[in-house]
Amino acid sequence: MRLAVYQGPGASGDVPGNLAIIRRVAAHAAAEGASLVVFPELFTTGYNLGSRLRELAEPLPGPSLDAVGATAADAGLAILTGFCERDGARLFNSAVLVGRNGSMRAVHRKCHLYGAMEGELFTPGDALAVVELDRLRVGILICYDVEFPEAVRALALAGAELVAVPTTLMAPHDVVARAMVPVRAAENQVFVAYANRTGSEGALAYIGQSCIVGPDGADFARAG
């Protein structure tokens, strides 16, 4: 599998703007031969929006997922993106994997919520997802999830060969991207794709350092 990870600021609070970024990046990744492109956490909405996320949240399926599915089908590659999911009265910090034919293949709801904002808005997920994509078994985590050794180990024991992680890692926590992600790959003998934002939202400054790491803990690629 040829894998792409997108790093960028996104359009905070602008769902159509973020869907346009996904379309543009997916077309570019497909032209480069990628089979899967991974976007950051809550990418369709933006992350640090507080209670406004209640207004921007959508059910699955919903308009944004339909748009991502159409983009995947047009580009001919799979897309994993962070998504603010509404399920009845509950909100979830979710990541949705859409196959190259546009169909939804897997949803992961963030299990380990980070900070007061997430704890007040979101319900924690209670399950892990592993799905086969182009003969490669892919597990999904979101941001803080990957910092817990048990989460990655559970995916590895379930057969995951690649762990894909949409994230919004902010300063001063660069140790996660720099040290913890390579360790998770090496200790579980899996590939890890870690897609982070750049720029800022309110008081949060995102640090980038998106990476694709091999089972030996060495980088295949790392952004600044």
Q: How far apart, in Å, do the first and last CA atoms of the chain sit?
A: 23
Closest by alpha carbon to 15, among 54, 46, 55? 46
Distance, in Å, from the CA atom of 136 to the CA atom of 37, rounded to the nearest integer, reads: 14
**Residues 26, 43: Cα–Cα separation, whole Å:** 14
Tokens 């992350």 map to which residue? 47
Of the candidates 164, 149, 147, the residue with the CA atom closest to the CA atom of residue 1: 164
Token pair belonging to 74: 């047009």
Handedness of CA 127, 136, 47, 175 (dihedral sign): positive
> Residue 203, class by beta-carbon neighbours within 10 Å (0-12 exposed, 13-18 middle, 19+ buried)?
exposed
Active site residues: 41, 110, 143
